[in-house]
Amino acid sequence: MSKPLLADLAMALASGQVRVIDLTNTLSPDFPVIVLPPEFGQCAPFRMEKLSRYDENGPAWYWNNISMNEHTGTHFDAPAHWVTGKDLPSNTVDAIPAQDFVAPAVVIDISAEAAADADFVLTRDFLEQWETAYGTIPPGHWIALRTDWYKRVGTAAYLNLLEDGAHSPGPDAGAVEFLVHDRNCVGLAVETVGTDAGQASRFNPPLPAHSILHGNGRFGLQCLTNLDQLPTFGAIIVACPLKIEGGSGSPLRVIALVEGKAA
Amino acid sequence: MARQKPYDGVALCAPVTTPYVRFSDQTAHWWAGAALAALARQTGLGPADFDGFCFASFSAGPDTVVGMVQHLGLSPRWMDHIPTGGASGVMALRRAARAVQMGDAEVVACVAADTNQIDSFRQTLQGFSRFSQDATYPYGFGGPNATFALIADNFMREYGVTREDFAKLCVAQRTNALSNPLALMKKPLTHEQYMQARPIADPIHLFDCVMPCAGAEAFIVTTPEKAQELGLSTARLAATIERHNAFADDPVQTRGGWARDIDDLWAAAGCTPQDMDMVQLYDDYPVIVAMQLADLGFCDKPALSRFITENDFTIAGSLPLNTNGGQLSAGQAGAAGGFQNVTEGLRQILRCPLGDQIPDATRALISGFGLVNYDRGVCTGAAVLEQDVLR
Amino acid sequence: MTDPLTPPRRKDPLVTTHLGHVSPALRSRAATAMAARAGQGRFVLQVCDDCAQATYPPRDRCPFCWGALHWQDQPNGAVIAAQTTIRSSIDLFFKDHLPWRIGTARLDAGPMATVHLHGDVGRGDRVRMELKLDRAGNPALFAMPEKETPHMADDPQLRVFTADPKYRRILVTDGRSATGQAVAEALLKAGAKTVFLGNADPLMRYPGQDRIEAVDGIEPVRLSLTDTRSIEALAGQLGGRVDIVVNTVGFTRQGGVGFGGNLNNLQSGLDLEVTGLMRLAQGFAPALSARSDDGDNAAAALVDIASIHGLTGRAGFAGSSATAAARLSLIASLRGEMAQTGIRVISVLTGPVDDGWHQNVPPPKTTAAQIARAVVTALQQGQETICADEVAKDVLARWQDDPILTIREENK
């Protein structure tokens, strides 16, 4: 009988052979949310009102009421978030099988391209060339797009919202079709505020990542940080959204398990 | 208008003054009791002996005469509360006299008492009257000083009365006070000191203002028969007047209610201003003394300055004025300030003054002026007292 | 002639700050009714229903015929009959403001009155009476020069009754809107030393940003009225330096109640305008109050700009009108609290504002410039309520005349 898998993992975790990387941005009132044209409903930023802090409203305890949108901060997009996924089974965060919340990731580094061109578009061609260099993307993986965009958090360059709209990298329809249908990905995990490029509402079809991922029951993870600490292959992402009844997504703590001692 | 009927069968007696203090930690009740105790010492009367009680005070709240009666163990068959400050002495006198004359009471104690605790003057002012709370004190909160400054400013220009004239009145009163051992002001006041005093509210300067203090005044109104039985010297009430809110249309107060009724006073008294051996006038400010001299018939207002110049207001002078020193020099013990003109006038004609005696004095003019409800004194009254029996 | 105000000296850190005493506050109900009208900048006296004579001080029945009294706008001329300079007072407020000049005024309307005197008027002068509010929000008759005199607004006695922006440091809560920018510039033009201009999201550009932030005297600050933490941070930083707070935030959206209403819009509006107002007050009221009588450097006012339809509701803008109603209600309560500390609380009432959220509302609409003018005027006059435009004036007049009818009209 082979050794129990989890026992190996447990030993590796205990010894530090497997490390846990936090991929989550801090939820704070300052963290930006996606901006839509003013006439649409607006994504609520994170807000916190103190209930008590060892004071007259609670002498021995400290707690806050918090409020936010389902898509505030580091968050998870369920298929029901998009109209294309509205009729899929188990399309809301409460219904998604827990099995799907833990999955391996393949990290595609487009940080150089994104640095050179904020509007860099990830294409099927680019992915095929990438596979030539690094190997085929295995099925059942999160596709983590490393853009180093998280380093822009706290500056206007994060949303990068100019008069002609936002400017941030993302995939075109061909790339998403390839990842979903040919590589059977779990979802797309990005550091930007959305899985789609900033200018993706002008793409044809518009907003291909949301449209195609969610239309096919796949997930999105946005506003991640520290993707530069993950290996190209071999990381496991744990991303458990809050179990909100009928929820379209959820802020969450995202962590990654990686092999090897800290440098 | 119906003529005033004579005050037959009325005797005024037993004037008492409890020594004033600048600040007191006692209450108005304590001071009222002190005044009654002084009356008792002089007459031998106790709580059961008074069947009438007339009370004036600003600082007895929340009590009125009712609370005071129970507090001090009285059981009168007649009582009255006179909340009119500087006019309360004359008004108490009138009311008590008629009660005694008609037999509603036989022995009436008229008492004015006020305390002066630290900060109580400010608190009294704050809640003094609705008009003053709404429309006077929020205007700089100068207190009565500011109100009388406006009256004085107008009066001096209108009638050519000067600070020099006021100086003469104030200096004379201070001279009178020096013989009164109970006067709070003990030092002489010179003309120069008056003129050089610091301004309080132009044209009012320091020595135009009274000093608030604690104290009480009292006297007895009874029948001549009862007074004789008690062995008390008595005075007669020759005539009185009283008027409230007179000349409401005058833009700034230049006259008081006396001006409206003064002819009735002298007609009923059967004498003239020139027959008076003294005047005991309400003197919160010298401008009001000057106003009274004119309104009570001593001279016309344009002649005031000359009248003041030509007269000597000291006890030995041509027209003795406020012979105890008045409030300006003896102190203003709240409502008792409206009683001391009565008690001092009585003492002079009953030959028991606190200080020097006006030689051969038999007639006194008493004048009261009270309650600056808004921009002027509302209540006025005057009385002519005559010596009756000395015992 | 009035000495021109000089820029306040920097505070000596070793000198105790003057406590914010207010003028004596006890008043009759009638005087309080006078105050309510004074707050609107009106000059009113009571007039008898029967004999039509005007009376003062405030009474409950006519002193000439015992008829019932009503408040009525009156001619505001007067002549000063007597004057005095008070040099001694036992009142905690006035003793710090001596000498203080008052006079007896013969009002053209009839009655005599004790009045505060501007430094440029005195005995014998014809004056223009203004009905002001004192620091405690009570009515105060103030005699002004009949014609403008040099530096008239700088009169130290007058400044007790006004919240003039001159040399004051002012926080404008939202500079991202045209209204906030117009208000900020108007305040600077009126002599404000500094305008701290709030920006809820410094990472997000806004129209007019480059221009307004380059204006001399503007200091951009991070401030989001939906973020308690940002208010606490700013109050900690500026609380001791801000003399006036002008709340320019707004969140207007169309929609009904049962039809076409949007719950998120209502919540957003309530959070920003209502909860936000309370957050702002809790952040800045204590510091403003502590400095309400601190000489020329004194803190003076909190100004809030809200829709007149808070009084009535409005068809098609149900949620936003409800938000404005809550806002006006909070302001009324805050006014009562701040009157005890000497800070004026001012409501600027507007009709539909000429912005992106009223595109299908027919004119007239309120411009940012009108709102800015109203803010400055209210501060300079020390008014409590001011209408920025004709629509607000019209609705307010109708509401004062017949509230239940106006509510019906505005919701048709």
CB contact under 8 A, C203 and A42: no
Least CB-CB distance to C57: which of B121, B146, B374? B374
For residue C170, the tally of other CB atoms under 10 A from its CB is 28
| pLDDT(B167) > 80 | yes
Peptide bond between residue C99 and the one before it cis (omega within 30 degrees of 0): yes
> Could you tell me which chains touch chain B, where touching means 3 or more CB pairs under 8 A?
C
Within 8 A by CB and 6+ apart from B251, the residues are C81, C104, C106, C112
The answer to whether B118 contacts chain C (CB < 8 Å) is: no
CB C321 within 8 A of CB C310: yes
Number of domains comprising chain B: 2
Q: Cβ contact (<8 Å) for B146 and C104?
A: no
pLDDT band at B383 (very low <50, low <70, confident <90, very high): very high
Whether residue B375 and residue C134 make contact (CB cut-off 8 A), yes or no, is no
Closest residue, chain C, to A161 (C-alpha):
C204
- In DSSP terms, C54 is beta-bridged to C47
Residues of chain A with C-beta less than 8 angstroms from the C-beta of C268: 42, 44
- Going by C-beta distance under 8 Å and a sequence separation of 6 or more, which residues neighbour residue C62? C48, C49, C50, C51, C53, C55, C68, C69
Summary count for chain C: helices (H), strands (E): 11, 15
Give the tens place of pLDDT for each residue, B304-336: 999 999 999 999 999 999 999 999 999 999 999
- Substitution target in C28, C88, C106 with the highest count of B β-carbons within 10 Å is C88
Closest approach of C16 to chain B, Cα-based (Å): 24
Cα gap C337→B319, rounded to integer Å: 58
> From the CA of C202, how many Å to the nearest CA of chain A?
8
Query: What residue in C sits closest to A47 (Cα-Cα)?
Result: C227
For C391, left (φ over 0), alpha (ψ -120 to 50), or beta?
Answer: alpha
- Whether B126 is in a domain gets the answer no
CA distance A88 to B171: 107
Tracing tokens 């007292």 back to the chain, one arrives at: B385
- Tell me the shortest Cα–Cα distance from B72 to chain C, in angstroms: 33
The answer on B341 and B376 residing in a single domain is yes
User: Do B176 and B312 share a domain, yes or no?
Assistant: yes
Cβ of C87 and B200 within 8 Å? yes
Tell me the C-alpha distance between C401 and C310, whole Å. 16
Shortest alpha-carbon distance between residue B134 and chain C (Å) = 5
- Partner residue opposite C203 with nearest CB, options A29, A44, A159: A159
pLDDT of residue A263: 57
Q: Is the pLDDT at B107 greater than 80, yes or no?
A: yes
B241 and B169 co-located in one domain? yes
Strand C244-247 and strand C169-172: the pairing is parallel
Catalytic one of A81, A141, A210, A214: A81
pLDDT band at C83 (very low <50, low <70, confident <90, very high): very high
pLDDT in tens, B206-261: 999 999 999 999 999 999 999 999 999 999 999 999 999 999 999 999 999 999 99
Q: Is B249 on the interface with C (CB under 8 A)?
A: no
Query: In angstroms, what CA-CA distances link B72 with A85, B38, B273?
Result: 93, 14, 40
Residue B315 lies in a domain: yes
Q: Which pLDDT band, with edges at 50, 70 and 90, does C1 fall under?
A: confident
Asked if A82 contacts A210 with a C-beta cutoff of 8 angstroms, the reply is yes
Smallest Cβ distance to C224: which of A29, A158, A161? A29
C-alpha to C-alpha distance for A219 and A146, rounded to whole angstroms: 17
Decide if A29 and C356 are in contact by the 8 Å CB cutoff: no
Distance CA C27, CA C36 (A): 13
Taking the C-alpha atoms of residue B316 and residue B275, their distance in angstroms, rounded to an integer, is 16
Q: How far is B295 from chain C (nearest CA, A)?
A: 21
The nearest alpha carbon in chain B to C104 belongs to B150
> Least CA distance to C222: which residue of chain A?
A30
**A–C contact: 3+ Cβ pairs < 8 A:** yes
Q: Say yes or no: B265 and B291 in one domain.
A: yes
Two structure tokens written together for C17: 């700050």
CA distance C275 to C7: 36
* B28/chain C closest Cα distance in angstroms: 22
Q: Which amino acid is at A63?
A: W
Q: What is the pLDDT of residues A123-145, one digit of tens each?
A: 999 999 999 999 999 999 999 99
Distance CA B54, CA C40 (A): 49
Query: d(Cα B329, Cα B185) in Å, to the nearest integer?
Result: 5
Highest-confidence segment of B126-140, B167-181, C2-16: B167-181
Are B153 and B287 in a shared domain? Answer: yes
Tell me the per-residue pLDDT of C304-325, one tens digit each, with 9 for 90 and over.
999 999 999 999 999 999 999 9
Summarize the confidence of residues C59-64 as an average pLDDT: 96
C142 within 8 A of C329, measured Cβ to Cβ: no
User: Looking at the structure, do residues B219 and B248 belong to the same domain, yes or no?
Assistant: no
- A71 is annotated as an active-site residue: no
Write the pLDDT tens digit of every residue in C340-397. Answer: 999 999 999 999 999 988 998 999 999 999 999 999 999 999 999 999 999 999 999 9
Is residue B129 in some structural domain? no
pLDDT single digits (tens) A34-92 = 988 888 888 999 999 999 999 999 999 999 999 999 999 999 999 999 999 999 999 99
Which two three-digit tokens encode residue B255? 């006259």
pLDDT at B181 over 60: yes
- Tell whether C138 is within 8 A of chain B (Cβ): yes
pLDDT of residue C139: 96
Model confidence at C270: pLDDT above 90: yes
CA distance to partner chain C, nearest, from residue B195 (Å)? 17
Segment B182-201 shows an average pLDDT of: 96
Interval C331-341 mean pLDDT:
95
Using a threshold of 3 CB pairs under 8 A, tell whether chains B and A touch. no
H helix or E strand, kind and range, residue C276:
helix C276-290
Cβ–Cβ contact C268 with A under 8 A: yes
Phi, psi of C329 (to 5 degrees): -65, -45
Return the closest-CA partner of residue B253 out of B380, B86, B91: B380
**Residue B242 resides in a domain:** yes
User: Taking residues B90-96, what's their average pLDDT?
Assistant: 98
- What is the CB neighbour count within 10 angstroms for residue C334? 19
Structure token digits, residue C127: 């004056």
- Domain membership flag for residue B309: yes
The pLDDT of residue B127 is above 80: no
Check: CB of residue B271 under 8 Å from CB of residue B363: yes
In a domain, B125, yes or no: no
Among C203, C271, C358, the residue to mutate for chain A (most A Cβ within 10 A): C203
Domains belonging to chain C, first-starting first, are: 29-159 (no CATH), 169-410 (3.40.50.720)
B194 and B333 fall within a common domain? yes
Q: Going by C-beta distance under 8 Å and a sequence separation of 6 or more, which residues neighbour residue B150?
A: B252, B375, C82, C83, C84, C102, C103, C104, C114
Indicate whether B199 and B218 sit together in one domain.
no
In this prediction, residue C164 has a pLDDT band, given cuts at 50, 70 and 90, of: very high
Cβ distance C87 to B201 less than 8 Å, yes or no, reads yes
Q: How would residue B124 be classed by pLDDT, with cut points 50, 70 and 90?
A: confident
Residue B186 banded pLDDT, cuts 50, 70, 90: very high
Whether B64 and B175 share a structural domain: no
Q: Does A41 touch chain C (CB under 8 A)?
A: yes
- B271-280, B382-391, C21-30: which range is least confident on average? C21-30
Provide the pairing of β-strand C244-247 with C301-307.
Answer: parallel
CB contact under 8 A, B252 and C134: no
| pLDDT (0 to 100) of residue A2 | 61
Q: What is the mean pLDDT of residues C112-124?
A: 97
Touching A (3+ Cβ pairs <8 A), the chains are C
Judged by CB atoms closer than 8 Å, whether chains meet at A158 and C228 is answered as no
Tell me, yes or no, if B248 comes closer than 8 A to chain C by beta carbon: yes
**Cα distance between residue C283 and residue C230, in whole Å:** 10
Of B195, B230, B265, the domain-final residue: B230
Inter-chain contact C201–A32, Cβ cutoff 8 Å?
A: yes
Q: Which residues of C touch B139 (CB under 8 A)?
A: 102, 114-116, 140
Q: What is the percentage of chain A residues whose pLDDT exceeds 70?
A: 98
The yes-or-no verdict on residue C240 having pLDDT over 80 is yes
> Looking at the predicted structure, is the pLDDT value of residue B380 above 70?
yes
**Which residues of chain A from 15 to 34 reach within 8 Å of chain C, CB to CB?**
29, 32
Mean pLDDT, residues C173-185 taken together: 98
B334 plus B224 within the same structural domain: no
In-domain check, residue B367: yes
Cα atoms in the Cβ-side hemisphere of radius 13 Å centred on A233: 10
Question: Do chain C and chain B touch with ≥3 beta carbon pairs under 8 Å?
Answer: yes
Is there a single domain that holds both residue B264 and residue B328? Answer: yes
**Cβ neighbour number for residue B29 with a 10 Å cutoff:** 18
pLDDT digits (tens, 9 = 90+) for B40-75: 999 999 999 999 999 999 999 899 999 999 999 999
Range of the domain at B295: 139-209+234-389
* pLDDT tens sequence across A220-231: 999 999 999 999
Q: What is the CATH number of the domain that holds B288?
A: 3.40.47.10
User: Does residue B133 sit within a domain?
Assistant: no
Residues of chain A in contact with residue C224, where contact means CB-CB under 8 angstroms, are 29
Cβ distance A156 to C205 less than 8 Å, yes or no, reads yes
- Does the pLDDT of residue C19 top 80, yes or no? no
CB contact under 8 A, B137 and C82: no
* Residue A156 to residue C227, Cβ atoms within 8 A: no
Facing residue for C230 by CB, picked from A29, A154, A158: A29
Over the stretch B263-300, which tens digit does the pLDDT of each residue have?
999 999 999 999 999 999 999 999 999 999 999 999 99
Q: Calculate what percentage of chain B has a pLDDT beyond 70.
A: 100
A90: left (phi over 0), alpha (psi -120 to 50) or beta: left
- pLDDT average, residue stretch C27-42: 95
Domains of chain A: 5-259 (3.50.30.50)
pLDDT above 60: residue A1: no
Chain A contact for C230, CB < 8 A? Answer: yes
Same domain membership, residue B225 and residue B249: no
| Interchain CB contact of C205 with A (< 8 Å) | yes
